[in-house]
Structure 1
């Protein structure tokens, strides 16, 4: 059994040292929900756990023929026989199964079961798509800058490079070069990083839109009964011969097969079919009802939080809180340094800085901030020097070309004329 689900195992691995380019809610979509839907797809596609998907009883029709026909067309249940009282009295053998009058009694056809693996697989791909889109936009920028720097504390006191758990940890000499590269990369992005954060926000909104879409699709797929499925499950007492899930996932259904008789007249063969697949289907969709609800709430909260950060990312108090969460080992960051860096950032730069903090050792992140502020101060002093020299030159030019009778020597310091 474990070998069957081996293909899904890589998506269930949890590696806290891996470079993070998104948040936990994002992972609920492309990692956990994707893996859950893939496992469900394998379950409903495999016969080794539940046997044949459908088994039908017929007096005269070949069993293989009637089972193939009923599985690939539709089976049905009779609405008036979805009655637990009739079932207890022995009037009907199974929920929804009993005599009926065509064109008079309401019947409900069940055709979804043959499409379940395809729908589940398609939904799994839809949950992975925003992550794939974000990876194509992000292009390993964060990874290339900070890979190995989260565990640099291991080599901090040793001074040489190491390999831990298959990951290369740079030496402190290499780390200094990497930190300088990070500082230069961040400075370069201050003027050309307008859309990086916006694309991440777009993918988070796509995650929310996708979970809403998948709930709608699942509800339509199950005949409009998915939205109430979890509530039915919670209210069910599981004591009687019939439960509320039998309405959506009947275990026994009717099927009719028509063929020509010996004299050329059409014969109607009434068949009873056991839907073994629905034993698995009901468990899967009840679980998905609760899981989709959790993902919907988490995704909504994540989008609200993201828009909250959009309005608060310039707040010093907010940044002290958020960077303490992103990099706990960094401790309390210097307010002046943090404010000087944040003042230069737009929202995309701030997001980039946040992911740097999330993937670096705390003392290195503090060092990056200090180096950025130092460069800002050097540039400011250089700009002021250039401005002063430019002002002096402008004054010289004005004096040089001013008419002689407008020049009041008493008002012009001698050093200005040199």
Structure 2
């Protein structure tokens, strides 16, 4: 048996230790346990928020998006589109025209983002699962329909599939300078609302989906497109397909995967998570200072024992290990309890959703939580380092005690 570990365990479980040392050790264990539990819970909440963001944007955004480096639109032709379709790994290509337009409904109006999409658009994503009213299809029985966000519906009081009150879109005509009759400066086109979607407020409050041909006519884009959206055959090959498309299209185009389309937001979440980890690590360090005090007092209490061990042949390294083990036992006892309790809290939140977001308009009712093994691993590593930092000084003092002065 490891002598240092055996003696450290005897010191830890000994009932003859002075009460003040016991109390400080217990306080240290509780502090480490609470800090560990809080760190696991907070990191899991950040994981849940990140996963929620990915899932929400995944309903709206394509796996790969192609845009122009300069300007907001670019010319397309049959040869270019065919090269993209024939790129290995590409399963689907959707053409997109997106621009701002004025939307009128009865006596109300607002500026919205009109997104014209080709017929295969709804094979790209999961918007059809976000429909709260009506039908998601943009073409039915030879007629064209618009799919509008719930925020737009609330703002204009739109009734889906109301043939008596179609949506009226207005877009400025190119080259029109006259202001005698302002309405003559706009191209106006009507379409019936066919369905309502609810994904996330950023989209719900401004987006309207229409057929690509309707957007071409309203916006006069012709062969121009604002973006091309690509779905891959295998999700695991997204990065490879992205690189292949970049080679095919050249430097004039940006080819982005789903994360790169929202890189700033996801980076902000990760940076916040990192700062939270660093902050709670300092909290653990402060809580572990009690380990330093308990070990320092234990060294004073066990001076005679240390001298006896040294006289029996224990070298300074063995004595140092005894007190390092003692600090590790105190810290790890609290850490294990904290990890178990933190993991249990996260599991209960995942399973039952006890803690609500507290907002009726929230996309999820309860706080999202996602546990990752790496968080448990990094927390354990942080506790090991902190334990070494606070234990090494008392351990060195114990190893430096004089045998003659303490026997």
Quickly name the TM-score band, shorter chain normalised: under 0.3
Point out the structure with the larger helix share.
1
State the TM-score, normalized to the length of structure 2. Answer: 0.25
Q: Which is strand-richer, 1 or 2?
A: 2
Query: Computing the radius of gyration over CA atoms, which structure comes out larger, 1 or 2?
Result: 1
